[in-house]
Amino acid sequence: MRLTDDLIETDISAYLQKHEDKSLLRFITCGSVDDGKSTLIGRLLYDSKMIFEDQLASLEADSKRVGTQGENIDFALLVDGLAAEREQGITIDVAYRFFATDKRKFIVADTPGHEQYTRNMATGASTADVAILMIDARKGILTQTRRHSFITTLLGIRRLVLAVNKMDLVGYSQQVFDDIVDDFYDFADELATDLEIQAIPMSALAGINITERSRETEWYDGPNLMEYLETVPIGDKRLDAPFRMPVQWVNRPNLDFRGFSGQIAAGTIKPGDRIKTLPSGRQSTIDRIVTADGDLDEAFAGQSVTLTLSDEVDSSRGDVIVSADDPAEVSDQFQVRILWMSDTPLLPGRRYLLKIGAKTVTATINAPKYGIDINTLNDVPAKTLELNQIGVTTLSLDQAIAFDPYDENREMGGFILIDRQTNDTVGLGLIDFALRRASNIHWQAIDIDRAVLAEQKGQKPAVLWFTGLSGSGKSTIANALQKRLFALGKHTFILDGDNVRHGLNRDLGFTDVDRVENIRRVSNVARLMTDAGLITLVSFISPFRDERQMARNLMADGEFIEIHVDTPLDVAEQRDVKGLYKKARAGEIKNFTGIDSPYEPPLNPELRINTVGQSPEGAAEEILNFLKEKGFLAD
């Protein structure tokens, strides 16, 4: 109870004046169910008087009913929020807790420590200044301690508290404490070179070294936990960095005012400062820093402001206003670290949305270079990333963005990945550096271009993309159509799923990841063929909407014709020309489309072909008429 101030009673105005200007520290607590993490947080709340009498009454009742501390108060019950968690006795999500002392206000991200909650821990760590790592004095540094240290430092935390808890159970032994600390220092060298570590011996349950120096550990002369939290510098290195502000909202109340609203991600700014807007690179100078409380002479990292410029620079949401003397980099290809957060694994080659700052772009993520085993910190081979897995990979965007490496600026280098179908947030990423590859490999300028090649053949190139279930009749129809086109003197080529898998794609199987890669390669080949002026018939099951969209995007406008060979599953299965359905039903073939792997029918195909009651020749005729109508065959 020493955390409150007599001024509350004697002079509330003076108290409030004093407390209006507290600083704010955000920290994360990492630990597993039985490390005493919830007990520690419960005690911090309790000791800082954040627990009211009604809560205390229900806490006392709950402690007797479901607590693990006999007749004593079970502080952990204070923070185990959701009913599901209370039943299972574990913490399953990030919870945010608040308390204040006379010196500071604190926001605690309380996260579970098991490996399956890595994503929750990373989320909590992303905004924290300090991490408290809970260690059971009886057990010492465990695998999970390494994991927690790795994740928190990965996300950029450089101040760690080693909370060696349950010292009461090892007789407050200095030897035990020193051994644990030595172990940790050995290991911490691998994490980062600029870590600041404070080890504190404590007992959350007994209240040792939490808010006061305890006699039980006379050999320890460091701060107690609260002292540390109240005095650790909240060094905001963003303040000294060059100016950055992502434009969140263009502020146009009338024709005479055009401002750019955003939260400053780094540095300071004054009217008259020269800036650039990225990615365009246009220069201007700051005219005013507008806020509802009047114009400012200076603004700095963390503030939400509105900037006006002295020139009519056209800028929109997602642009970044940066110092002209020290601008951010601009690129569309990066090496990144990704933490995967979805039950559905990463599909390399598939397009995801990437949100960074106020900008959302489309990203194609390449197969990981390697994964990182978060328990041993070793590199491990990885073809994809599963839930909670961390990997290093490269990605490319559909447009260039301004960025700083994550290790220099969290807001300018951290991004999330969003699945375009489910809208879920599936990954968290950190930009390491831009790849120079794109700028170094120039397109060969070719004199005989695609238009000339097509004209020579008297046709308009196109990709006729046949999609449908196995046995739906794609290849048969494509074949019939090619004969008709050939007879008309047209230049064509068929890319057939089975055939391509014997050569170009023979290294690929039928997992979702491989299916995506299969289509990526084939669509690139098809694109080259249209560049050669050919009418290309692609006959692939291509079960996923997203990959067909990827293929569509790769082609020139209007040259992608999606043809859904719409044969119902039961009909295709009945035909079973290759006997594959029978095998799939018998479990001899895995990942068979329509049986144990999904088929996503096109929503708006250019053509939908019904094969029930129609011959392949009839279908070919239908497609031919479509091509004539659209002018692909005009001489």
Partner 1 sequence: MTHLDRLEAESLHILREVASECENPVMLYSVGKDSAVMLHLAMKAFYPSRPPFPLMHVDTTWKFREMIEFRDRKAAELGFDLLVHINEDGVRDGVGPFTHGSAMHTDVMKTAGLKQALDKYKFDAAFGGARRDEEKSRAKERVFSFRSAEHRWDPKKQRPEPWNLYNTRIHPGESIRVFPLSNWTELDIWQYIRREQIEIVPLYFAAPRPVVNWNGVDILVDDDRVPEEIAKTAVIKSVRFRTLGCYPLTGAVESTAATLEDIIQEMLLTRTSERQGRVIDADQSASMEKKKQEGYF
Active site residues: 542
Place of tokens 């690129």: 331
**474's tokens:** 């794609």
Distances (CA, A) of 43 to 47, 101, 125, 177, 214: 6, 13, 21, 22, 15
* Closer to partner 1 by Cβ: residue 25 or 208: 25
* Closer to partner 1 by Cβ: residue 80 or 566: 80
Instruction: Report in angstroms how near the CB of residue 69 gets to partner 1 at its nearest.
Output: 18
32 binds partner 1 (CB under 8 A): no
Other Cβ atoms within 10 Å of 526 Cβ, number: 28
Strand 299-300 and strand 23-31: the pairing is: unpaired
Write out the binding residues for partner 1, residues 248-277 only, by CB under 8 A: 248-249, 251-253, 257, 259, 261-263
98 binds partner 1 (CB under 8 A): yes
52 binds partner 1 (CB under 8 A): yes
Strand partners, 147: none
344 binds partner 1 (CB under 8 A): no
Quote the CA–CA distance of 529 and 525 in Å, as a whole number: 6
For residues 339, 341, 344, 346, the Cα torsion angle rounded to the nearest 10 degrees is -20
With CB under 8 A as the contact rule, the residue among 64, 114, 282, 410 that binds partner 1 is: 410
107 binds partner 1 (CB under 8 A): yes
**Residue range at the interface with partner 1 (CB under 8 A); choices 49-57, 187-195, 494-502, 586-594:** 49-57
**Residue range at the interface with partner 1 (CB under 8 A); choices 6-14, 168-176, 325-333, 573-581:** 6-14
Instruction: Report in angstroms how near the CB of residue 73 gets to partner 1 at its nearest.
Output: 15
Strand, coil or helix: 305: strand
Q: At what angle do helices 474-487 and 616-629 cross, to 10 degrees?
A: 60
**Residue range at the interface with partner 1 (CB under 8 A); choices 56-64, 219-227, 510-518, 528-536:** 56-64
* Of 470, 441, 613, 450, the residue nearest 539 (C-alpha): 470
Instruction: Report in angstroms how near the CB of residue 105 gets to partner 1 at its nearest.
Output: 4
What percentage of the chain's residues is helix, strand, coil (to nearest 5)?
30, 30, 40
Strand partners, 4: none
* Closer to partner 1 by Cβ: residue 107 or 195: 107
Beta strands in 47-158 (DSSP E): 95-100, 104-112, 130-136
With CB under 8 A as the contact rule, the residue among 2, 23, 190, 380 that binds partner 1 is: 23
611 Cβ neighbours under 8 A, 6+ residues apart: 472, 473, 477, 565, 566, 567, 571, 619
**Residue range at the interface with partner 1 (CB under 8 A); choices 184-192, 269-277, 287-295, 615-623:** 287-295
Strand, coil or helix: 548: helix
With CB under 8 A as the contact rule, the residue among 243, 415, 544, 632 that binds partner 1 is: 415
Quote the CA–CA distance of 456 and 337 in Å, as a whole number: 48
Instruction: Report in angstroms how near the CB of residue 52 gets to partner 1 at its nearest.
Output: 4
Strand 560-565 and strand 462-467: the pairing is: parallel
Write out the binding residues for partner 1, residues 519-538 only, by CB under 8 A: none
Write out the binding residues for partner 1, residues 301-330 only, by CB under 8 A: 302-304, 306, 317
Write out the binding residues for partner 1, residues 345-364 only, by CB under 8 A: 353, 355-356, 358
With CB under 8 A as the contact rule, the residue among 58, 68, 439, 499 that binds partner 1 is: 58
Strand 95-100 and strand 104-112: the pairing is: antiparallel
79 binds partner 1 (CB under 8 A): yes
Strand partners, 370: 392
385 Cβ neighbours under 8 A, 6+ residues apart: 338, 340, 345, 346, 368, 371, 391, 393, 427
219 binds partner 1 (CB under 8 A): no
119 binds partner 1 (CB under 8 A): yes
Instruction: Report in angstroms how near the CB of residue 562 gets to partner 1 at its nearest.
Output: 23
Instruction: Report in angstroms how near the CB of residue 239 gets to partner 1 at its nearest.
Output: 10
Strand partners, 165: 136
* Closer to partner 1 by Cβ: residue 99 or 540: 99
* Closer to partner 1 by Cβ: residue 55 or 553: 55
Instruction: Report in angstroms how near the CB of residue 544 gets to partner 1 at its nearest.
Output: 18
* Closer to partner 1 by Cβ: residue 371 or 414: 414
428 binds partner 1 (CB under 8 A): yes
* Closer to partner 1 by Cβ: residue 151 or 572: 151
With CB under 8 A as the contact rule, the residue among 33, 60, 126, 576 that binds partner 1 is: 126
Number of residues forming the site for partner 1 (CB under 8 A): 77
- 253: cis peptide before it, omega within 30°? no
